[in-house]
Structures are given as C-alpha cells and as structure tokens.
C-alpha cells in the first residue's frame, strides 16, 4: 500500500474518519495512549473506546492474503461504528446489512448499493421496499413467505437461498435454529422461486459466530454444492454466487480456517468459471480493533476480597459476556492518585457494572492489585457485539460512549515522530 504516511492519508481521508483526529501510535503504545487520554482530559470519568484503525488495515491485509477469492461483506450488526465502516469501505470491503437502518448507514458513507447484501432471511416489508428504492439488489430467503414478500415489493432482486449448515462448528452463537432451509425444503423453495419468476443466483449459509471447529466450513460448502446441483436439475439459470457467511476468527487461527475453506472450494467447485464467492466477516475485523477503558466508581473491601464498581457493565458494552459468551480480561491503569501496579500483590476481586441489578457482574475471582477510586480497568477485544447490542438500562447510555481513533504501526510512528502524534484530518 506504499509508505506509512500514505497509509495514514488513506485512513484520514476515509469516510467516517475525515474531519476527525487520529493518533499515530507505536506498535505497543495503546496503553500509553489510553493513559494520555486519562491524564489530559481531567474531567473525563466516563468510559471510552479506542478504535485502532491500523489493526483493521492489518486484518484486511490478512484476509486478502489468505482468502483472496472471497469478497468480504462486513457484517454491520457486529459493530456499526462509522469510522470502522468507512475504513473498511476505503479498503474495498462490501457490506452485509440486516435492516433499513444499517443500509442507510452504509449508503451515507458513499458506498454503492451494489456493494450491499441485505442478508436477513426474514425482512419487514417496509425494509424490502426501501432496499428496492435505493437499489440494493441482493438478498437472502429461506421460506415461501419471504419469497412472496420479495415478489410483491422487490421482484427484480437477485436471491440467495439460505440453507442450514450441517454443523455449527461449536459456534459461540449458533444460528441454525433460526435461519436456513433444511435439505428437504430446498427443492420446494427453488420451485416456488421459479413459479414466482424470481432469480435465485446462489446459495448462502452461516455456521454461526465464533466457532473453532473449522471443518464445519467444509461440510457447509459440500452441502451448498448439492443445492447448486438441485437448481441445475430443475432447469434454473446457472447459479453464480456462493456466500460462505461469517463466524471467522482473527489470527492466529484464521490461516487454518482459510486453508479449510480453500480446500473445500477446490474440492466442490473446481471448475465453476464465473463463480463469485462472498463472505460476511464481522468479529474478524471488529473484535480486536477496539479497546475499552472503564473508570472505577465504587469500592468495597471484605477481608481479602476486593469489590469494585465500574461505569459500564452487563447492560452496556459488556453485555458480550452474556449475549456473545465472551470471556473478558482486563488490565488496571493508574489514576492520578494511585501508585504503580507493576509487581504489586494481587487479590481475588469482583467487578460490578453500574446498574442496580445483581446480574450486572463483570468478573468474579479475578486477580487484580489493590485499586482505588478513579483508577481504570482496560478491556481489550471489545469490538464485536458490545456497543452494538448494549442498552440504556438505568439511564446508562451505551450509545453515548466516546470513541477515540488511533493508528498503530511502527513504521508510521517513526515517520511521524512517535506516540501521540495527532494527525489533523
């Protein structure tokens, strides 16, 4: 992509980023940057995020090198941050949207509707009509009822039949109980599409989010091949799109996933000239790119047990613990009046969120040093299904949490003079 300053320029010119400040960091400078935010904004005691756009670019490069045949359609539901969407758009990503609002967000960045798939197999009629109006012409279905809605409101739309993956690969968030045609339903659905004179241009599946049993992709691609064959036997126009869904894990496991996918594509679609392969990665790009800092707003000591309250929790960004089955970790950062933590004794600690519900418990028995009021706990890997699925319960407004933009790259930091070089966009 050229030298680091040019890379930075591409970042700051991206839609959703343009007009904002981006902090250029050393490779391992994120804790120092977070500390600088805390130190320079003395009035700041609210939680905040740091979105590292350098991580997003590095992950996009990983995707391009490992799965070059699969065009990514970023799953907006995972994290709809406009800066994240804008950088992905500038890098060449397309987008998986599930609602009118998500489509609007992507279009607001100047993205062509041809780069959007309306990947919701059960859509509200007003949302279908909106997609037709703005020119989003690719969607999914898995029922005759959905076909009837599409026939009525968007008959020119190209369709992908969503099939249930044979195996969810141990996904943290399996989807097969809600979406996907069963094998015995495929032929009747394809025939119904023929009768309605709708164009089924391919097959879609999703093994679920966060799985680690990568052979699930091989099984799903094999199942998709049988659907292609069924369509051919029915005399339908040749299918040309295979959507392999999402659920991809970021490095270090991604190379193994990609190898499995490539081998399966070669085995089941070896001579399919003109086949377009797309995917719907969400957490792959978002999870590790965002870090959250939370302030300690309360403390209680019961013998050796230390209990702390922070200003975000289970009903906010950390809902991922319940909804996404995430296992979170944190590190302490010193506040203005606290000693350094290096080498300090640790204690079994409980960390509560700010709401009045006892369910709002973030960590139990977690080893932490003795902390004080207004110290901070920093949570890495907070980009996937966090702010997007948070609530405003008890008046704690998840959607109001500020996001600071950063770009981590050793070469870039050297070129621009080091940590905390603020680039005016």
Specify the CATH number for the domain of residue 300.
2.40.37.10
Tokens at 296, concatenated: 């300690």
Tokens at 163, concatenated: 């099939």
Higher pLDDT, 420 or 139: 139
- Residue after which a domain boundary falls, among 257, 281, 305: 281
Q: Tell me: do 228 and 299 sit in the same domain.
A: no
Q: Which residues pair with 331 in a beta bridge?
A: 378
Total number of domains constituting the chain = 2
Assigned domain for 68 exists: no
Q: Tell me: do 119 and 253 sit in the same domain.
A: yes
Q: Tell me: do 193 and 326 sit in the same domain.
A: no
- Residue after which a domain boundary falls, among 281, 297, 327: 281
- Residue after which a domain boundary falls, among 281, 297, 318: 281
Structural domain for 141, as ranges = 80-281
Q: Tell me: do 149 and 175 sit in the same domain.
A: yes
Q: Tell me: do 123 and 202 sit in the same domain.
A: yes
Q: Tell me: do 242 and 300 sit in the same domain.
A: no
Confidence check: pLDDT of 7 > 50: yes
Tokens at 372, concatenated: 């004080």
Assigned domain for 94 exists: yes
Assigned domain for 200 exists: yes
Q: Tell me: do 265 and 383 sit in the same domain.
A: no
Segment 67-70 long-range contacts (CB within 8 Å, at least 24 positions apart): 67/258, 67/261, 67/262, 67/279, 69/262, 69/265, 69/277, 70/244, 70/261, 70/277, 70/278, 70/279
Assigned domain for 298 exists: yes
pLDDT score recorded for residue 340: 64
Q: Tell me: do 246 and 395 sit in the same domain.
A: no
Confidence of residue 213 (pLDDT cuts 50, 70, 90): low
Q: Which of 201-205, 232-236, 247-251 has the least mean pLDDT?
A: 247-251
Confidence check: pLDDT of 419 > 70: no
Assigned domain for 13 exists: no
Confidence check: pLDDT of 421 > 50: no
Please identify every residue annotated as catalytic: 356
Over residues 303-329, the pLDDT tens digits come to 889 999 999 999 999 999 988 888 999
pLDDT score recorded for residue 326: 87
| CA distance linking residue 66 with residue 346, whole number of Å | 41
Q: Tell me: do 306 and 186 sit in the same domain.
A: no
Confidence check: pLDDT of 343 > 60: yes
| CA distance linking residue 286 with residue 279, whole number of Å | 15
Q: Tell me: do 33 and 92 sit in the same domain.
A: no
In order of 10, 24, 51, 410, 412, the CA distances from 5 in angstroms are 9, 10, 19, 12, 6
| CA distance linking residue 168 with residue 180, whole number of Å | 12
Over residues 51-101, the pLDDT tens digits come to 999 999 999 999 999 999 999 999 999 999 999 999 999 999 999 999 999
Q: Tell me: do 246 and 269 sit in the same domain.
A: yes
pLDDT score recorded for residue 411: 47
Cβ contact 254:297 at 8 Å: no
Percent of the chain with pLDDT over 90: 72
Assigned domain for 10 exists: no
Q: Tell me: do 323 and 359 sit in the same domain.
A: yes
Assigned domain for 387 exists: yes
pLDDT score recorded for residue 414: 43
Assigned domain for 161 exists: yes
């Amino acid at each position: 992509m050229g030298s680091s300053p040019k890379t930075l320029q591409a970042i700051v010119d991206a839609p959703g980023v343009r007009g904002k400040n981006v902090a250029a960091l050393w490779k391992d400078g994120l804790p120092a940057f977070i500390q600088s935010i805390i130190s320079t904004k003395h009035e700041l005691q609210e939680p905040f995020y740091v979105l590292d756009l350098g991580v997003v670019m590095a992950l996009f490069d990983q995707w391009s090198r490992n799965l070059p045949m699969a065009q990514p359609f970023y799953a907006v539901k995972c994290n709809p941050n406009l800066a994240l969407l804008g950088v992905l758009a500038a890098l060449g990503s397309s987008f998986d949207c599930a609602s009118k609002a998500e489509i609007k967000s992507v279009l607001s960045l100047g993205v062509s509707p041809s780069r959007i798939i309306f990947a919701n197999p059960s859509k509200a009629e007003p949302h279908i009509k909106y997609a037709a109006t703005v020119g989003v012409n690719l969607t999914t279905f898995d029922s005759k009822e959905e076909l009837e809605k599409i026939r009525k409101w968007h008959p020119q739309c190209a369709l992908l039949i969503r099939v249930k993956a044979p195996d969810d690969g141990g996904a943290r968030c399996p989807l097969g109980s809600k979406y996907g045609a069963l094998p015995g339903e495929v032929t009747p659905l394809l025939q119904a599409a023929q009768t309605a004179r709708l164009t089924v241009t391919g097959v879609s599946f999703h093994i679920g989010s966060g799985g680690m049993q990568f052979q699930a992709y091989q099984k799903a691609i094999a199942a998709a091949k049988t659907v292609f064959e069924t369509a051919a036997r029915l005399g339908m126009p040749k299918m040309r799109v295979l959507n392999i869904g999402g659920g991809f894990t970021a490095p270090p496991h991604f190379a193994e996933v990609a190898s499995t996918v490539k081998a399966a594509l070669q085995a089941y679609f070896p001579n399919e000239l003109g086949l377009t392969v797309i995917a719907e990665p969400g957490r792959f790009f978002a999870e590790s790119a965002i870090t959250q800092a939370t302030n300690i707003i309360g403390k209680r000591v019961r013998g050796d047990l230390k209990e702390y309250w922070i200003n975000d929790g289970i009903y906010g960004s950390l809902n991922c613990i319940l909804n996404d089955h995430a296992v979170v970790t944190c590190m302490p950062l010193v506040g203005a009046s606290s000693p350094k933590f290096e080498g300090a004794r640790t204690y079994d600690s409980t960390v509560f969120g700010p709401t009045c519900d006892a369910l709002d418990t973030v960590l139990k028995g977690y080893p932490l040093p003795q902390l004080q009021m207004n110290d901070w706990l920093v949570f890495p890997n907070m980009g996937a299904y966090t702010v997007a699925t948070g609530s405003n319960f008890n008046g704690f407004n998840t959607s109001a949490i500020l996001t600071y933009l950063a770009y981590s790259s050793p070469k870039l930091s050297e070129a621009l003079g080091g940590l905390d070089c603020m680039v005016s966009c």
